[in-house]
A = this chain, B = another copy of it.
Amino acid sequence: MKKIINDPDKVVQDMIKGFVAAYPNDVKQLPNTTGIVRKEAPFSNKVGLVSGGGSGHEPAHAGYVGQGLLDAAVAGEVFTSPTPDQLIEAIKAVDGGAGVFLIIKNYTGDILNFEMAAELAEAEGIEVDKVVVNDDVAVEDSSFTSGRRGIAGTVFVHKIAGAKAEQGASLQDVKQTAQKVVANVRSMGVALSSCTVPAAGKPSFELADDEMEIGIGIHGEPGIERKQIGSADDIAAELTKKILEDNKLTKNDDVAVMVNGLGSTPEMELYIVNGKVQELLAEKGINVYKTFVGEYMTSLEMAGCSVTFLKLDHELKELLDAESNAPAFRAK
């Protein structure tokens, strides 16, 4: 295991220390938790936004804490859900009186723990609502999930719900908009290599030297098929086809595209994939409104990428474009 760490059992706390040290004017760590919160939170009469999940997906989730995005992100251990007692602290910290909205990726552990935290918060008189993101079209049901998994499309939910909340929308309206994003966002990924959870010390799974896995999850959950590595064009075509079959985009639809690196795939390769994806969308007369290429939702040092399409209407475009200020959301 070649990693730049101190103690495999302390990677999350060391990371949080280094994260807060990087942006001390913008964020703070919630005392005795793994939660990162906007420094000025809570914001009076603004819906507070909380997300989080296992660590190892950096820049998700703390990288999306900022103005026009999340108010708090809670990190679990690597590939492990944050606990309800950590989540409730984050909920309390961002409650400015307009309620708190939770953005949850669809993994059984995350759902359980976020829901438990929501119940605890409600018992304390905080109004809480939530959305569950399940953008991965690869498989129904998976190792850690009932139904579809939540992957990189979650970043669009963060951004758009974040912009909506920043405008002063009610909890109900933030939820409605977030649900619209969930209903219109679809993703699928491919891996060329595994990754190593620091505390485990060995790769989560093995792929042969000439193999890739199509439809893999961001924790290495099985995908659709293992086969010989294809060309970038073939991979782009396969992912694009699967997503389009699912969300039924048609001519003149407007979309946002994300080509997301899983950890160790060079940006050069992500742009090569993007070239083909854009060509395929153009052939179908689908309009690309905005493109995001980079690492937005990773799996430690996994090699591979995912492709996400979000169908946009006027509201979603405006919210996607709205000003934001968080370390990891590259506006262009």
Contacts and interface: CB of A to CB of B under 8 A. Distances in A.
Interface in A34-53: none
Contact of A295 (B232, B267, B279, B300): B267
Contacts of A301: 264-266, 303
A113 interface: no
Interface in A298-315: 298, 300-301, 303-305
A224 interface: no
Q: How many subunits of this chain does the assembly comprise?
A: 2
Interface residues on A, range: 35 or more
A209 B2 contact: yes
Contact of A275 (B17, B63, B192, B267): B17
Nearest to A331: B325
A266 B265 contact: no
A139 interface: no
A18 B326 contact: no
Interface stretch (A3-11, A87-95, A102-110, A117-125): A3-11
Contacts of A55: 268
A326 B331 CA distance: 9
A278 B232 contact: no
A33 interface: no
Contacts of A15: 268, 271-272, 275
Given A4-B192, A301-B265, A23 B332 contact: yes
A254 interface: no
Residue of A15, A267, A273, A276 most packed against chain B (CB within 10 A): A267
A251 interface: no
A188 B100 CA distance: 44
A8 to B, nearest CB: 11
